[in-house]
Amino acid sequence: MGVLVIGSHKGGVGKTTVALNLAFAVARRGWSTLLVDADPQGCIGLSLQGRVAALPGLAECLRGEQQLDDVMCGTRLEKLKLLTSGQASVQELSAGITALADTSAMGKALAEAAARFDLVLVDTASGLFGPTQAALRNADHVLLVLQAEPLALRGLPLQIELIRQLRATDRGPAVAGVFLTMIQSRNSESMGVVQEALGVLPVELTLDAFLPRDPVFLKASAKGVPLGLLYRNPPPVATVFDSLAAELEPRIGLLSKETEDEAVPLVD
Ligand SMILES: Nc1ncnc2c1ncn2[C@@H]1O[C@H](COP(=O)(O)OP(=O)(O)OP(=O)(O)O)[C@@H](O)[C@H]1O
Ligand SMILES: [Mg+2]
């Protein structure tokens, strides 16, 4: 149905963490979801154990060497599938280019995926150029990830403007919201960024959900799993992604049919 890119101009702010956990939450809420890794460094593939990292994926689809169907991996959740970034060819490596930056091939692959899934969620490399721009040009929405640290807000207006220009001059996504990550509630600088962001952002771009800094994410990254699969009883911070999914659904057009919205009896 739609393509949502997870993006940020800065690296290491939690994009991949958000993409993986949000995809898990959206799929758990019943939407068929494809998580696409459009970062040439293949972070989602890497985090999901070596076996998956070496598989063909998006790059092979964009070069026309593989069909989407043959390279999507199933996951523990029936509604969640994964498309890794795939492997660079020798020619690409020697020329310093990547198939992932091919805007028109990316457009075809994402459109094909969007026709088959309720949501195609794309994790990207930091910056808004190269493969990330190819994904943005073919996306319906972008969720901007902002790490709550001093100066984080400095690049944000430019980022939003760039996306607005992409949309005005060519194809480009609407901003679904700005998601604040790695918040330290006992740190005044970190909380200052949250206050400042809420003050300067247009209200339609703010989100009630935000992600605290929590060491459990390092553990989850090391195991290559979303928090929901880290323990039998996931930690409280895992619920943030359910809230984020619920907030984003209406903004990105994931609306349940009225007939499905009836209360379900507790006991038949
Ligand atoms: N809320 C959090 N609390 C603590 N650690 C976090 C949190 N979110 C992410 N991390 C950790 O921070 C590191 C960077 O996160 P992540 O890889 O998700 O960022 P990224 O924006 O995708 O980075 P890149 O720009 O390199 O792709 C990882 O080790 C991850 O486990
Ligand atoms: Mg990443």
pLDDT at 72: 95
In a domain, 47, yes or no: yes
In a domain, 266, yes or no: no
Residue 73, both tokens: 């991996």
In a domain, 101, yes or no: yes
pLDDT at 168: 87
- pLDDT-derived band at 258 (thresholds 50, 70, 90) equals low
Split into its structural domains, the chain has a count of 1
Task: State if residue 14 touches ligand 1 by the CB under 6 angstroms criterion.
Answer: yes
pLDDT digits (tens, 9 = 90+) for 26-59: 999 999 999 999 998 877 755 555 566 678 999 9
Q: Per-residue pLDDT for 212 more than 80?
A: yes
CATH of the domain at 234: 3.40.50.300
How much of the chain, in percent, has pLDDT values that exceed 70?
96
Write down the pTM of the prediction. Answer: 0.95
Q: Per-residue pLDDT for 150 more than 60?
A: yes
In a domain, 110, yes or no: yes
Among 5, 9, 17, which residue has the most ligand 1 atoms within 8 Å of its CB, making it the best to mutate?
A: 17
For ligand 1, atom 5, the nearest C-alpha belongs to 217
In a domain, 260, yes or no: no
Domain with 221, as residue range(s), is: 2-253
Residue 253, both tokens: 């057009």
In a domain, 236, yes or no: yes
In a domain, 261, yes or no: no
Q: Which of 211, 237, 231, 239 is nearest to 14 (CA)?
A: 211
Residue with tokens 């740190």: 187
Quote the DSSP letter at residue 101: G
In a domain, 265, yes or no: no
